[in-house]
Structure 1
């Protein structure tokens, strides 16, 4: 963890995939099912793309993800993939599949006990983001679950801007594992925490973050270090 001190936040805004939720624990079997169904429905005739390609696109908007994962596909195939992805993700979550990163639930509770407001800002679909929070038992810890799917925002910068305005937040941390999270924080004048424990992106994506953490519990240490510089 970096030794840079951050200013005390009113709120902490989290990305979901690769930050709170260890997405590959759900997405690997879902990915296989999506492409099996697309081939059965004759919407996609190619071999199943490697799941690493999909994992590497986490943090993007869905329409951009499918262009990367299956660039030779039709618009009909991409739209059907959207529906199947959500259906199979929610089915998997309901069946108990998928895991939060270690210490996420405990640390979120500790942050909330310290009076910090907690939010999610994700480029995912509304039902998915809220489904992860609900099925993993953390939904009640958040003051708001914001998603590009719900608010139809063109970028995470816009999504976070709406969140801040809606709740009158002046000072917050943006916590995430991708360059889009760093950009969302910096674009709204927030301090940024890069989650270096996730393996979906490239390490260079977090170069602009104010602080890097390799364990979710380090957020509490960062909060404690802010007391002198409120």
Structure 2
């Protein structure tokens, strides 16, 4: 029997907020310098759609720009995010290592399933040495549909998961859990929305609560 926890990355494990605004502003400053953008950086609009795959982000933020320009902006934005990660400007949410250590010591397998791109996720995992606890990190790039439920299904099938939970802050995480017969743990963190969290099986305010929800005897959610 394989019991595991699948974690979202942005807004769940990684405090994306710490590098998001400066990286996004860099991307739009580039557009301004090329006379392709005049308004302020749409940071609030990005917050509203946080958690969707990046191609959909640029469709929303740059609806009047060409696909080629969206791709160039995406590539530049990714470069800035990774640079900010590698220089320590980001940060994990409190107690990530503590909780991961507890889960690992008590026989739980840990995975990451994110709408973030592979290079971005690898930068976070490498910088914070998460691979000492995490079995494998999966990007939405691994799934043609760009659907979080399909990504979680891929993990479930590959590792023969029979029980466990998806831990995340947005509706896509909650749906991914339910669509795959897993429990959903909603994180009331920076990007969470109350109407989405209402659909989760359990809501937590701090990752430390996972130590109670998933104790040593693997009793699961109480």
TM-score (norm 1): 0.89
Cα 1:227–1:53 change in 2 (3 A) is: same
Partner residue of 1:34 out of 24, 27, 46? 27
Tell me the secondary structure at the aligned position of residue 186 of structure 2. Answer: strand
* Cα offset, 1:21, TM superposition: 0.6
Report deviation, 1:226: 6.9
Cross-structure match for 1:16: 9
- Structure 2 residues without counterparts, runs of 5 or longer: none
* Residue 227 of structure 1: how far off its partner (Å): 5.1
Describe the shift of the 1:219–1:48 C-alpha distance in structure 2 as closer, same or farther (beyond 3 A): same
String of CA shifts for 1:4-32, please: whole Å, max 9, x gaps: xxxx9710000000100110101111011
Give secondary structure in 1 for the equivalent of 2:49: coil
Pairwise CA distance, 1:228: 5.5
SS state at 2:207 partner: coil
Alpha-carbon distance, 1:174 to partner: 0.4
SS at match of 2:98: helix
Distance 2:101 2:134 in 1: 10
For 1:209 and 1:45, the matched residues in 2 are separated by 39
User: Is the contact made by 1:24 and 1:55 (CA closer than 8 Å) also made in structure 2?
Assistant: no
Pair 122,227 (structure 1): closer, same or farther in 2 beyond 3 Å:
closer
> How far did residue 48 of structure 1 move?
3.2
Question: Out of 69, 91, 98, which is 1:99 matched to?
Answer: 91
Residues 228/202 of structure 1: CA separation in 2 closer, same or farther (3 Å cut): closer
- Cα displacement (A) at 1:200: 1.4
Q: How far, CA to CA, are the matches of 2:77 and 2:126 in structure 1?
A: 18
Alignment partner, residue 115 of structure 1 = 107
CA distance in 1, matches of 2:154, 2:220: 27
Distance 1:49 1:229 in 2: 43
How far off is 1:129 after superposition?
1.2
Give the alignment of 1:168-207 within 5 angstroms: 168-196=160-188, 198-207=189-198
Aligned residues: 221
Q: Secondary structure at the match of 1:25?
A: helix
Contact 1:157 1:185 in 2 (8 A): yes
Matched, 1:64 2:24: no
Shift of 1:185: 0.5
**Aligned match of 1:3:** none
Contact 1:21 1:100 (8 Å CA) reproduced? yes
Q: CA RMSD in A?
A: 2.0
Look up the match of 2:207. 216
Structure with more contact order per residue of length (Cα contacts < 8 Å, sep ≥ 6): 1
Q: State whether residues 121 and 147 of structure 1, in contact with CA within 8 Å, keep that contact through their aligned partners in structure 2.
A: yes
